[in-house]
Amino acid sequence: MALRKGMNKQTTRLQAASALAMAMFEQKGLTELIDSKFKHDPRIRLTPGNAVKAMIGTMLSAEGRRPLFGISNFYLSSPTEQLFGSDADVNALNARAFSRNLDRLFKMDLGELTFECYSMLCKEYGLSSNMFNIDETNFSVTSLVKEPDVMEAAFPERCGHAKDGHNERLVYSLLSVTDGNGAICYERPYDGATTDGEMDRDAIEFLSKKVDPDITTLAADCKIVTGPLVKLMLEKGFGFVAKCPDNFGKKVRSKIVESVRTGTMDPSLVRDGNAVIEAKERRWFCGQGSEVSGCGMPKNF
């Protein structure tokens, strides 16, 4: 309803936030990077990179995000040929053009593409991080077709716990990984029936090939604290930090918390104080190296 409310509202000029975001997107080479993943087709008036840039422009506007069929209204009085290419007039910014480009992007290795964009911006701005946060969510979508068309497409009525409450719709799960600066470095969609454990495993495997695990700490919620996932992180060489799962026995959890609270901690390498910072509820469970049965410390925390 919120999307439909402003879909026909015309924008008389390009808003500052949108203009700055799209200028940064273009100048830092992200449009070119995305377009380089596809073969050039002279029949296409709106390229995938420019489609992404156009959607970002509307998301950062005062009106907020719009449905695909309302994006063109945002650019009615804008120099679209300068923004999106000489062939991209307002008519080229139609819903079909955006949906086709999204379909093309969906078939790509989105995680790899996201990490390439992330690496490019980190190099440009001199950003680095040895802390990565792993999180999962899900969302429902409205669709006329209720059957999966490709691998990893959404499945209807299989999730059972859509966070927006609409279990009758198609549900996607989404894995996101951000670095210590809050920058997204990896995202991947899954069908709504995918478990958090499966997505956590994929994130660990992916990051092990992109960063140095020996100096990297992974932060996640308590669902990552399972035998197989802890074993995988330790085999790869990662440090990790997560909350104690609620299903831990009280006695076991008390021992873990007490060992963290009273143990001798090494000085932090990056800040004043100890290498492990206690949370309000003192419920942090940490692991590193071979200390699977007890509490270790995240690396370089």
Give Cα separations from 265 to 280, 282, 286, 290 (angstroms). Answer: 18, 15, 12, 16
What is d(CA 199, CA 180) in angstroms, rounded to the nearest whole number? 20
Here the tokens at position 266 are 């090494």
- Chain-centroid distance of CA 143 in Å reads 23
pLDDT tens, the chain, 301 aa long: 455 555 555 544 678 888 999 999 999 999 999 999 999 888 889 999 999 999 999 998 888 778 888 899 889 888 888 899 888 888 999 999 999 999 899 888 888 999 999 999 999 999 999 999 999 998 887 766 656 556 655 555 555 677 887 777 778 889 999 999 999 999 988 887 788 999 999 999 999 999 999 999 999 988 888 889 988 998 999 988 887 776 666 666 666 566 656 654 454 454 444 444 444 333 344 443 333 333 334 555 4
Alpha helices in the chain (DSSP H): 2-5, 16-27, 30-35, 48-59, 71-74, 80-84, 95-106, 110-125, 196-208, 227-236, 250-262
